[in-house]
């Protein structure tokens, strides 16, 4: 066999290996996309479990429509705003035109050669909808449905893609050296800032705070549903973080899944001991939030950490969330599901942890992380506050006292979640 024939065979073998690698990477990204999608069911059941039964239909409605709104708006405007093309790289705003592009079937993503353009869109679209879902739990049980839907539409289609573009679309935070592997800041604290502003514009639920600083607990109606939600979210995080490797590289994906699981476990244990010490009883809701806190905390640097560093990050996150839930209550910031403590506080901590632990640890990186947190917070607070303000001054954002007492299931939807419950028992 002459050298030319050997060269042709080697070239064919190389192409075959390349095709297998591309298919494997693309398949893993599609699996990760499905795992992130299932997180919406996790958010729905967790939020339902931690709130009262009279608002269940309303919460399920919001968590069912948010993914639909997120996917549609991301297809029409968000994707090209967040990934606008190289001519906008390094900037503050980017725009690549309306709609996902036609005629790109089978083409690789412009941002990553490991998978297709369509897989890139769908994976990123799942992330976009998650930010609005975080807001849903924090404003539960007293917000008007139409106001929430308008806020979600604008937040997912404009605010989230702009701050996401700053890092993941090649914007100025990427140029600065800011690091956020899977979104402790770009997803979780972005949603957290939207949630905080919403709470401040809405005010607390009726009866939550009494005179002389008294805090009246409003327990959720179903711990089994909350538990299902937490475990669905933990499962989905394998796609959330594991998919953010942006390939099926076995070493990188394995490490990320290990650090993710270890941080969640450490968060649960830390929250258990902290709550047991503070409240004299082991609080199951704090364990739930401890798991999520560890997951949020590791998300910014899951690919940079050793298992021991993941334990440290998860432990600190679990302690933080347990301390912050009662602190927000003392500040009369009514958050029914602890979204601020989990997503905002631990999102900020997780982003700072990149400069404290792991491969990039150092004062220089820590200062860059602080700058990134600041700019994302400034934009997210400004945008969400403006939207909440305009909604409050026009159509209003809060239901009446009578509607809140009745429950949003009947007042907003004209139905009950458990219509035969009393007859059954």
SS3 percent helix, strand, coil of the chain, rounded to 5, is: 70, 0, 25
| CB burial readout 234-266, b (16+ within 10 A) else e | bebbbbbbbbbbbbbbeebbebbbebbbbbbbb
Task: Return the bridge partners of 277, or none.
Answer: none
* Distance (Å, whole) CA 316 – CA 383: 30
Task: Quote the Cα angle for 396-401-407, to 5°.
Answer: 100
What are the phi and psi torsion angles at 357 (to 5°)? -120, 165
3-state DSSP call for residue 392?
A: helix
State the CATH architecture for 3-424.
Orthogonal Bundle (1.10)
The DSSP output letter for 143 is: B
Q: Tell me the pLDDT of the chain (425 aa) as tens digits.
A: 566 655 545 455 455 555 788 889 999 999 999 999 999 999 999 999 999 999 999 999 999 999 999 999 988 888 888 887 655 555 666 666 666 665 455 567 667 788 888 888 899 999 998 888 999 999 999 999 999 999 999 999 999 999 999 999 889 999 999 999 999 999 999 999 999 999 999 999 999 998 877 899 999 999 999 999 999 999 999 999 999 999 999 999 999 999 999 999 999 999 999 999 999 889 999 999 999 999 999 999 999 999 999 999 999 999 999 999 999 999 999 999 999 999 999 999 999 999 999 999 999 999 999 999 999 999 999 999 999 999 999 999 999 999 999 999 999 999 988 887 654 33
Task: Quote the Cα angle for 367-300-34, to 5°.
Answer: 160
Domain ranges in the chain?
3-424
Write the pLDDT tens digit of every residue in 44-56. Answer: 999 999 999 999 9
């Amino acid at each position: 066999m002459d050298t030319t024939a050997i060269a042709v065979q080697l070239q064919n073998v190389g192409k075959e290996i390349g095709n297998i690698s591309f298919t494997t990477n693309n398949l893993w990204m599609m699996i990760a996309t499905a795992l992130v999608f299932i997180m919406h069911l996790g958010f729905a059941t967790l939020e339902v479990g931690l709130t009262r039964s009279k608002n269940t239909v309303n919460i399920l409605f919001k968590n069912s429509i948010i993914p639909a709104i997120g996917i549609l708006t991301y297809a029409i405007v968000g994707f090209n705003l967040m990934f606008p093309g190289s001519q906008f790289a390094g900037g503050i705003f980017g725009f690549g035109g309306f709609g996902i592009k036609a005629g790109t079937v089978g083409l690789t993503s412009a941002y990553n050669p490991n998978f297709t353009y369509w897989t890139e869109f769908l994976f990123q679209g799942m992330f976009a909808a998650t930010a609005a879902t975080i807001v849903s739990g924090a404003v539960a049980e007293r917000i008007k449905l139409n106001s929430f839907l308008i806020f979600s539409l604008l937040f997912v289609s404009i605010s989230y893609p702009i701050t996401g573009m700053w890092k993941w679309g090649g914007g100025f935070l990427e140029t600065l050296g800011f690091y956020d592997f899977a979104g402790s800041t770009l997803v979780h604290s972005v949603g957290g800032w939207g949630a905080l502003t919403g709470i401040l514009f809405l005010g607390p639920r009726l009866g939550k705070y009494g005179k002389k600083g008294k805090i009246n607990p409003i327990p959720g109606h179903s711990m089994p549903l909350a538990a299902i939600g937490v475990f669905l979210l933990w499962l989905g995080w394998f796609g959330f973080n594991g998919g953010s490797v942006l390939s099926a590289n076995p070493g990188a994906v394995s490490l990320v899944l290990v650090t993710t699981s270890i941080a969640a476990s450490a968060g649960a244990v830390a929250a258990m001991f902290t709550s047991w010490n503070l409240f004299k009883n082991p609080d199951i809701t704090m364990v739930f939030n401890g798991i999520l806190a560890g997951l949020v905390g590791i998300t910014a640097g899951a690919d940079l950490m050793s298992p021991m560093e993941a334990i440290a990050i998860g432990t600190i996150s679990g302690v933080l969330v347990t301390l912050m839930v009662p602190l927000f209550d003392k500040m009369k910031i009514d958050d029914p599901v602890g979204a601020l403590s989990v997503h905002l506080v631990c999102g900020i901590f997780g982003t700072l942890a990149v400069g404290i632990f792991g491969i990039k640890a150092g004062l220089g990186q820590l200062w860059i992380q602080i700058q990134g947190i600041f700019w994302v917070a400034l934009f997210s607070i400004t945008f969400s506050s403006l939207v909440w303000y305009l909604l409050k001054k026009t159509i209003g954002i809060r239901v009446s006292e009578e509607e809140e007492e009745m429950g949003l299931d009947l007042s907003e939807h004209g139905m009950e979640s458990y219509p035969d419950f009393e007859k059954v028992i």
